[in-house]
Structure 1
Amino acid sequence: MAEGLTSIGSVAGDLFASIEKQRSKKTARELTLIDKGLEIAQVRPEGDDVTFMHSILCQIGLPRSKFDGDRFERKNGSAALEVRAGSIWTGTDMVQQPIPYGPIPRLILAYVSTFAVRERTPEIPFGESANDALRILGIDKGGPAYKMFRTQVSALAACSMTIGFTAGDRAYTFHGNPVEQFEAWLPGQEGQRSLWPSSMVLGRRFYETLLDHAVPVDLRAFSSLRGSAMAMDLYLYLVQRLHRISRPVGLTWWMLKDQFGQEYVGEDALADFKKKFKKALAQAQSVYPDAKIEIVRGGIKLFSSRPAVDPKEAKRLRV
């Protein structure tokens, strides 16, 4: 018996040593995602852990990096998204804004969409001070994130979107501003040196379609991916797609590049995209443990998977 116990203890020790060895090869960010994935696997999201995103923005995302120009377009099969830069009144001048890009506007959209869906209102508050706005979005005060938030919330509030899609033998085009009205504190108030958001009102059409087509998302997972806009986009795509398919779906690398990597150009564009995509996919899968995906010759294969959020919980939060 003692020998058996010793043997079991030895095996367990070897197992833990192996796990620690594997963990030692991971970066701090990879370890954070692994730990978050373990938490998500053990505890399903509910209450404040559930956020909502517009279904269109789960299929076609904003630019992932800084975009030069005032018009951006991304396609996905029979659908497309066009984003145009707009202007913001600063109290003294109309100032042209850039196209919103990167992780922060994605987090902002998650916050405003969730508030709109759960409270059934297009008017979204950001708190009584700049610090409140940062806290609500889980963004650390100070440093580059502080400045980036200020830039991106103004860019998002100013932009306009055009969505096009094909259904049957007809082509549809929808024009609208995600944000109809933007209210901000002037510089000097609340100790601020530039405009900070107080509230925004969603555009009527955006708000109405959001209520009808909101996708429930695990906020713990989505927020943990903020280091990679591509990983955030992949996670949203998988969350809205995997639970709706009934049979395996194959996607070639070229199809994936058309949807997620249109910015990759040049002789090695596909190879560069595949490298970045595989890394982002691994990150997205680490925080969506139920996602069933295989990398196969020529692309990937998707399989029907359990929803990231229990449909009953999502329905409860939308009432």
Structure 2
Amino acid sequence: MTKRNNGPQQIGDLVGGIVGKATASQPAAKKAESSGLILSAQAGKLLDVAAEIATNPPTGEDMAFTHAVLCQVGLPRAKVEGREFMRQSGAAWVNVQAGYLDEGKGPVLQPIPYGVMPRLGLAWVSTFAVRNKEREIPIGDSAAEFLRLMGMESDGRRYTTLRKQMHALAAARLQLGFKGRTYNGQPVQQFDAWVSNKDTQQRALWPGVMVLSEDYFGSLIESAVPLDSRALQALKGSALALDVYAWLAHRLHRIEGRGVTLHWKALREQFAQEYTGKDADKNFKDAFVLQLKKVLAVYPQAKVKRVTGGVLLIGSPPPIPYKGGPTV
């Protein structure tokens, strides 16, 4: 058992107390229940995963990957009206353009991919590509199998969402830019559409293979960031939480000295484009703080604390040690 790194305001006093006392025989959710606390099923699962990560270092099977630029500027988290989406943070930027996909009866304009599903889908596809150094990704015999591989339930709503978002992702054109270098193209070179069978009312089969474009594959291999798949599954209820986790995993181990203070203005520019209206700033701040607590629960090495006007990032080990892996 490894000693847990209790960084400043690591999970919050309550969550930290629960996770710190959890044992294999008495999971964190049970500890909360015995203490008279009422937790949702999702919160209980999060605490159990936090306890698992805090006490058991990741193995090879726990390693996942995503593109370094997408750790800094993610896909949209909410539905986008129109055919183009741009997000920029410092020197990194991403531009997503909607594309067409043949769904069996000719071209159909797809929406811009957004939310949790394409993030997890890209992470799973990227993980297979990096581990096996292959562009061809076997994604299972059915949608239910793909959901299982991503640790998600195969209920009807998820099934429908998966179909829509993976079609959108397969059709999308993606531009990634960072410090003078621009990648232009589509991550997916070949994709057989998931066409439903209305005659038999059977759930449609996924294509057996998704093929990444050569350019995207090369860019991914050069700049893949290792993540803990256990954390991704624990945070799958929030696209913002997934973005904050990937961002910290990519950035914290690069920080030296006393750390870097990021003010709310800079954080809003990076993460808050979906927040609009009169109370947009307050709503974003409240949401960010809530999701940050969840992220720190499953990234116990992270040293992040609230300061006046923002957050302080202190140099921390990455969630997965870099041991001869991809150069980022």
Query: Does the pair score TM above 0.5?
Result: yes
Query: What is residue 183 of structure 1 aligned with on the other side?
Result: 192
- Asked which structure has the greater CA Rg, the reply is 1
After TM superposition, what 4+ stretches of structure 1 lie above 6 angstroms from structure 2?
15-18
Query: What is residue 75 of structure 2 aligned with on the other side?
Result: 62
Distance 1:238 1:191, change over 3 A: same
Which is helix-richer, 1 or 2? 1
Distance 1:60 1:230, change over 3 A: same
C-alpha displacement of 1:193: 4.9
Query: What is residue 318 of structure 2 aligned with on the other side?
Result: 307
User: Deviations along 1:15-36, whole A, 9 cap, x unmatched?
Assistant: 9999657661443322221221
User: Deviations along 1:45-89, whole A, 9 cap, x unmatched?
Assistant: 112211111101111111112222111111101221110011111
Distance 1:173 1:47, change over 3 A: closer
Q: Distance in 2 between matches of 1:109 and 1:18?
A: 35
Aligned pair partner of 2:56 in 29, 40, 43: 43
RMSD between superposed Cα atoms in Å: 2.4
Q: Distance in 1 between matches of 2:320 and 2:45?
A: 21
Query: What is residue 265 of structure 1 aligned with on the other side?
Result: 276
Letter in 1 for 2:213: G
Q: Which moved more, 1:206-215 or 1:187-196?
A: 187-196
Percent identity over the alignment is 44
Aligned pair partner of 2:265 in 239, 244, 254: 254
Query: What is residue 307 of structure 2 aligned with on the other side?
Result: 296
Q: Is the 8 A contact 2:99 2:171 kept in 1?
A: yes
Aligned pair partner of 1:218 in 208, 222, 228: 228
User: Deviations along 1:120-168, whole A, 9 cap, x unmatched?
Assistant: 1111111233332222222222221111011111110000111233x3x
SS at match of 2:217: helix
Query: What is residue 232 of structure 1 aligned with on the other side?
Result: 242
**Alignment TM-score, normalising by the size of structure 2:** 0.84
Q: Distance in 2 between matches of 1:144 and 1:87?
A: 23
SS at match of 2:82: coil
Q: Distance in 1 between matches of 2:191 and 2:177?
A: 25
Q: Distance in 1 between matches of 2:274 and 2:304?
A: 24
Question: Is 2:115 the counterpart of 1:115?
Answer: no
Query: What is residue 241 of structure 1 aligned with on the other side?
Result: 251
**Alignment TM-score, normalising by the size of structure 1:** 0.86
Gaps of 5+ in 1: 1-14
Query: What is residue 71 of structure 1 aligned with on the other side?
Result: 84
C-alpha displacement of 1:194: 4.9
Q: Distance in 2 between matches of 1:220 and 1:86?
A: 32
